[in-house]
Structure 1
Amino acid sequence: MAPATTSELTTIPAVVSRSGGPLKGEDSLADAIMPAPGAPTGHDILVDVKAVSVNPVDVKIRAGAGGPTDDRVLGWDASGIVLAVGDAVTGYQVGDEVYYAGALGRPGTYAKWHLVDERIVGRKPATLTHAEAAALPLTTITAWEALFDKLKLDASSTGTLLVLGAAGGVGSIMIQLAKALTGVKVIATASRDESRAWVSELGADAMVDHSAADFEEQVLREAPGGVDYVFSPQSKGRMPFFVAVTRPFGQIVAIDDEKDLDFMALKGKSISWHWEFMFARPMHGWDLEAQRELLDKASELIDAGALRTTLTKTYSPIDADQLRKAHADVETGHAVGKIVVAAES
């Protein structure tokens, strides 16, 4: 059956957060019927959403809402098909398959149709299904910006990169990008058999157990004198560890929201600290095309066999029950790779 045209639907199904809070609340995630987005204008494209992935940001925003949220549509990863384009759009046309991570200040992707700025959208890898593609955008942008915009790594880079939380969404693609596009040795942290097998499969050169009492010693055995680069998804309480395992003039890039960090502890070794926030570009309208370019480059690498999807679990269809399951998985903090909810199984 051919998909409905934008003039045929005035309402669309969506999953909304009405009250936020714990998943056990009926309105934390609920099925809803909403007005369909209007025709795209400017740089916007209208996408028929085929799959979404659930990220920690989805869980954080849902759980952090303590009251009415006006039926907020969450979701910042999607893969789908272009239904219509705005008058300023030059990169896409109706029928194109795309993948992207959206913007915090706009309605999310847990809906049948979604408006997004073409300048932060990439062409879906031709070799992947929509579910496989939806696992990638947010984490790929985060890892890419961390490695190449913040740490300034390139094909000539050597040394050691310590990836904390390596089996998670960002770590899973960061390992692959570092091995495909740089010359660094990747030391991945993993504490369970499942996560160790996963990071090894993705190409990590060495593994250390972050739950072990001798975690610090394990890192220094792999990188005598200290690692050159550290990626941190969770920095709370780790500043002494960072100082101990990072070499003088080393660099750390973090993506969490920890506010109470002792940055002065880094001064003795002249260690640099970087924040990575992949929503910064769309939030401030800054160099938007850079996200499209990097997603397109990642798509090329995937189709060439240099990168692979990080999808490990798929739920279907896209409704409140299935998204609730995905949120529950992510909330455990032990999910390996990425969890996707697809329109069709």
Structure 2
Amino acid sequence: MKAIGFKTSLPIEDQDSFIEFETVKPIPAGHELLVKIEAVSVNPVDFKIRQSAAKETVLETPKIIGWDAVGIVQAVGEKVTLFEVGDPVYYAGDITKQGSNAEYQVVDERIVGRKPKSLSIEEAAAMPLTTLTAWEILFDRIRINPEKDKGKSILIIGGAGGVGSIAIQLAKKLAGLTVIATASRPESIAWCKEQGADFVVNHKNLVEEVRNAGFQYVDFILDFVDTNFYWDIMAELIKPQGHIASITGSAEPVVLNKLKGKSVSFSWELMYTRSMFETDDIQEQHNILNKTADLLDEGVLKHTLKETLIGLTAENLKKAHQKLESGTTIGKIAIKF
């Protein structure tokens, strides 16, 4: 089968930052599905792994990355019960396994959902990773309860990005929160409002902007940009007994003492935790993706696809990564095979 990968971590402009190659089609076992992939989308995790996975070495076998995918089930392992051959599916995969930038992929059925019927393959490919991340950070980490928390305020730092775009929708339409999102360019401000943000504030002067919008403190904060950079700002803006959650990691230790006076909770979210550790509730990702498919088909949620490239080629992956690395993308970029 055809696949796109890399043997060493190179700048995206380098000719060999991605290479096309032939490899053996995988065989599913256990809970695995063999999926013939029809479309993928790209996420910041893709370029971060490309930049770091083979920094000081040359791999013998090219590494295949990419995690968002849509396709058709071609074969199933002996323990599979959730899907059958011929089913259209979508998923965000497992960071410890080979990725989706290939013609075929094996993936655990328990982290796979049925493809939303109302979406094209490229629209559906834009959704899994960001939706799972946003859903988990809101409902599994912060544990927002729509009945108890309806009307409370949430600040979403990085509102126009892939995760921010769907987090705005989930926070507004499912949780009933008052949503404040950050954006600075006219097109990203408009995008956040389209997703349902009640207020859009400029991240360059965040404390003042939030206060000018009428909020002395906010109940919840989601960081989708840079934990350390915004740490003091988040500590200032969070309401006493509020909750901050982040997906961005931290090169420097996070100064949790700054949250003590307000008795503020803090959570990390990593969408791959369930698949990496095969947690007892690993199948919750299957459930979330199916719930999301229903919400998309019902029109409660809308896809966040902004751009589509055509063809599984090294050149298209380079283009997509260049755009992501610029830090100016809005919504999601998909590649239709």
Please report the TM-score for the alignment, with normalisation by the length of structure 1: 0.93
Unaligned runs of 5+ in 1: 1-11
The residue identity in structure 1 corresponding to 2:308 is T
Q: Which residue of structure 2 aligns with residue 168 of structure 1?
A: 161
The residue identity in structure 2 corresponding to 1:17 is F
Aligned partner of residue 113 in structure 2, secondary structure: strand
How far off is 1:204 after superposition?
Answer: 0.5
Alignment of 1:260-299 (within 5 A): 260=252, 261-286=254-279, 287-299=281-293
Q: Percent identity?
A: 43
Aligned partner of residue 268 in structure 1, secondary structure: coil
* C-alpha separation in 1, matches of 2:137 and 2:312: 31
Structure 1 residues 235-244 or 117-126, which shifts more? 235-244
The residue identity in structure 2 corresponding to 1:160 is S
Q: Which residue of structure 2 aligns with residue 235 of structure 1?
A: 227
Q: Which residue of structure 2 aligns with residue 123 of structure 1?
A: 114
- The answer as to whether partners of 1:20 and 1:63 remain within 8 angstroms in 2 is yes
* C-alpha separation in 1, matches of 2:274 and 2:144: 20
How far off is 1:223 after superposition?
Answer: 4.8
How far off is 1:24 after superposition?
Answer: 2.0
Please report the TM-score for the alignment, with normalisation by the length of structure 2: 0.95
Q: Report whether the alignment pairs 1:108 with 2:108.
A: no
2:171 paired residue among 167, 174, 178: 178
How far off is 1:155 after superposition?
Answer: 2.1
How far off is 1:180 after superposition?
Answer: 1.6
* C-alpha separation in 2, matches of 1:306 and 1:327: 30
Alignment of 1:148-167 (within 5 A): 148-156=139-147, 157-158=149-150, 159-167=152-160
* C-alpha separation in 1, matches of 2:43 and 2:17: 16
How far off is 1:314 after superposition?
Answer: 0.6
* C-alpha separation in 2, matches of 1:29 and 1:258: 28
Q: Which residue of structure 1 aligns with residue 326 of structure 2?
A: 332
The residue identity in structure 1 corresponding to 2:238 is T
The residue identity in structure 1 corresponding to 2:319 is K
* C-alpha separation in 1, matches of 2:249 and 2:208: 27
Alignment of 1:1-345 (within 5 A): 12-38=1-27, 40-64=28-52, 65-66=54-55, 67-69=57-59, 70-156=61-147, 157-158=149-150, 159-211=152-204, 213=205, 215-233=206-224, 234-260=226-252, 261-286=254-279, 287-343=281-337
- The answer as to whether partners of 2:13 and 2:318 remain within 8 angstroms in 1 is no
The residue identity in structure 1 corresponding to 2:216 is G
The residue identity in structure 2 corresponding to 1:56 is P
- The answer as to whether partners of 1:154 and 1:181 remain within 8 angstroms in 2 is no
Aligned partner of residue 173 in structure 2, secondary structure: helix
Aligned partner of residue 260 in structure 2, secondary structure: helix
The residue identity in structure 2 corresponding to 1:31 is E
